[in-house]
Amino acid sequence: MSYGSQRERENMGDTTILLVEDNLDDQVLTLRALKKNGIRNKVVVAHDGAEALDYLFGTGKHSGREADTVPRLVLLDSKLPKVDGLEVLRRLRDDERTRSLPVVIFTSCEREQGMVDDHDPQADGCICRSADFAQFSRAVQRLKPLLPASN
């Protein structure tokens, strides 16, 4: 996984993680894996792709939110209602404010992960959400260097 330079990450400022996930069980699993790995950053959850875009760009129900303040990391489910995860990624890469924002895509199986890797090199990483929590937790641990300790 590559996440831009250390200087770019330090200049992001915000330590928030945006988790974009429509499945409640997967939200809980991800939050548990973050906690197990000592990642205590604030997590904002968007339940579909449209809500994620509203949060990131300060529109819709998030109008008034400072759009220039981006989260430190986006954890993005590949299959979302309203706006697909890969379309969210495309829109992030098309906008100057979010172009260098680290985005890690969560997939539900290795076959889907290969499809994401093959068809969209714009993602900074891809993690298969395994039925084995220990394996998923080890994958989430690789995110730790991106995230300074939260206050």
Cα(52)–Cα(10) distance, rounded to whole angstroms? 23
Nearest-angstrom CA–CA distance, 15 and 9: 10
Q: Determine, yes or no, domain membership for 1.
A: no
Q: Does residue 23 belong to any structural domain of this protein?
A: yes
Q: Which domain holds residue 56?
A: 6-146
Q: Which CA distances in Å does 133 have to 34, 49, 136, 150?
A: 12, 25, 5, 24
Q: What CATH number is given to the structural domain containing 57?
A: 3.40.50.2300
Q: Which residue has the higher pLDDT, 105 or 119?
A: 105
Residue-by-residue DSSP string for 51-63: HHHHHHHT-GGGT
Q: Is residue 121 part of a domain?
A: yes
Task: Report the share of the chain in percent with pLDDT over 70.
Answer: 79
User: Mean pLDDT highest for which of 57-66, 103-112, 129-138?
Assistant: 57-66
pTM > 0.85: no
Q: What is the mean pLDDT of residues 79-108?
A: 91
53, two tokens = 């875009």
Q: Structural domain tally of the chain?
A: 1
Would you say 78 and 40 are in contact if contact means Cβ atoms under 8 Å apart? no
